Amino acid sequence: MKFTTVSVSYSRKFNLGDYESLELGCSLWAQVEDGEDADGITKFLYQQAKTSVKQAAMPVLKASEFQINKAKSSKKVSGDINESDW
């Protein structure tokens, strides 16, 4: 089977508390030439889209008391919250 273009879409909804949420998404496309690994390109695009959504969400999540408390309670630690907690 010959692919010419692969596309990936990733979206995520974050609960901000008080009946508020943030939904972010990213769609990426890539041209695939004969002989290239379409599955590998698709996995790469997925990771890139996921990282882009996470980076876009971080400023809002860091300012959200609900998300800070949620991350602290799930980790049972005090101190700074890391991006990996989301």
Domain membership of residue 82 (yes or no) is no
Q: Is residue 70 part of a domain?
A: yes
3-state SS, residue 81: coil
pLDDT of residue 84: 61
| pTM as predicted | 0.74
Q: Give the tens place of pLDDT for each residue, 30-79.
A: 999 988 998 999 999 999 999 999 999 999 988 888 888 888 887 755 45
Give the range of the structural domain holding residue 45, as residue numbers without chain letter: 3-74
Q: Convert the pLDDT of each residue in 7-28 to its tens digit.
A: 999 999 998 888 999 999 999 9
| Domain count within the chain | 1
Task: Pick the more confident residue, 1 or 65.
Answer: 65
Q: What is the 3-state secondary structure (H, E, C) of 3-22?
A: CCEEEEEEEEEEEEECCEEE
Task: Return the CA Rg of the chain.
Answer: 17
Amino acid at 83: E
Whole-angstrom distance, CA of residue 65 vs CA of residue 71: 10
Residue closest to 33 by CA, chosen among 58, 53, 4: 4
Q: Domain for residue 68, yes or no? A: yes
